[in-house]
Chain A
């Protein structure tokens, strides 16, 4: 899922203080699971904003809502009538959701309520880690199910590099060396011969190097 973290409340106050009617819009998708921007977090931000504005003697209306997803038009469209009553929206969705709202409601300022971080997993309750960089050409079949693009700090296609020591990365001793993990996993799988066949340089055109991307699945189209 997309992992995000809440923006500092001071930053949200700074971007919203010029408005009189604010809707804090959560998203029931990824950001709910990573406890950054679901209804629960939208309510906390809403409450904090109301407390702040009231205390400042400012008459500001702040309400909350949460959409099933902010990255799908039918759900975004549910806001259409409601938004007539508001000057601005704090979207608690990932960057995709914020932009989709901005595209749908051209006359409303849509402000981000979270910082979108990465595609990752729930490592433990309250802890999320990165697993995928959406490079567009998955090579996990050859790397023991561990991604060198996401897990190696240098995104090397062939590793480990000289900075790997005791299974840790030179960037930070807290970070496991992705290629060390791959080596250990391939050893367990009896596939160490993978290291005798270096992979060719990766084609980054499928990643961000090819510009903003698009996926079309004809069979799904109407």
Chain B
């Protein structure tokens, strides 16, 4: 299973642990994009963790839109732990999407430039 090396994984016990501030911090610290990989809807071990994550992702997208970063840099995907190939596909899809958007505008001024897109994934 291959997926782009620019994807940095942050492991969490459940996507429900992802909070608004985590996604904001990733963007603030220069991630070009962040996607949350939660379990399939209806399959959460904690019942609603992935649904909570979905709302928080939507909230952050709205917030980033308002502050001029663009909400599309943050996304939510749902897949099961058994869908390794799907994970790789999502990682490629997200990387491609972010590549089209270009690097984070936050890495232009004073920050170290990164050679390729840097995408963070949670869960």
Contact = CB atoms under 8 A, between A and B. Distances in A.
B63 interface: yes
Contacts of B64: 51
The binding surface of chain B is classed by DSSP as helix
Contacts of A54: 28, 106, 109
Interface stretch (A41-49, A156-164, A175-183, A207-215): A41-49
Contacts of B11: none
A51 B106 contact: yes
B67 A55 contact: yes
Size bracket, chain A contacts: 10 to 19
Contact of A52 (B20, B21, B25, B67): B67
A132 to B, nearest CB: 29
Contact of B66 (A9, A50, A55, A56): A9
Interface string B13-33: 000000111001101100000
The binding surface of chain A is classed by DSSP as helix
B68 interface: yes
B58 interface: no
B44 interface: no
Contacts of B101: none
A101 to B, nearest CB: 23
Contact of B21 (A10, A44, A57): A44
Interface string B53-72: 00000000001101111000
Interface of A: 8-10, 13, 40, 43-44, 47-48, 50-52, 54-57
24 contacts: A9-B63, A9-B66, A9-B67, A10-B66, A13-B67, A40-B19, A40-B21, A43-B21, A44-B20, A44-B21, A44-B24, A44-B63, A47-B24, A48-B63, A51-B27, A51-B64, A51-B67, A51-B69, A51-B106, A52-B68, A54-B106, A54-B109, A55-B67, A55-B69
Given A55-B69, A56-B68, 16 more contacts: A8-B66, A9-B63, A9-B67, A13-B67, A47-B21, A47-B25, A48-B63, A48-B67, A50-B28, A51-B64, A51-B69, A51-B106, A52-B68, A54-B28, A54-B109, A55-B105
Interface of B: 19-21, 24-25, 27-28, 63-64, 66-69, 105-106, 109
Question: Can you list the 5 inter-chain pairs with the closest CB atoms, starting with the nearest?
Answer: A47-B24, A52-B67, A55-B105, A47-B28, A43-B21
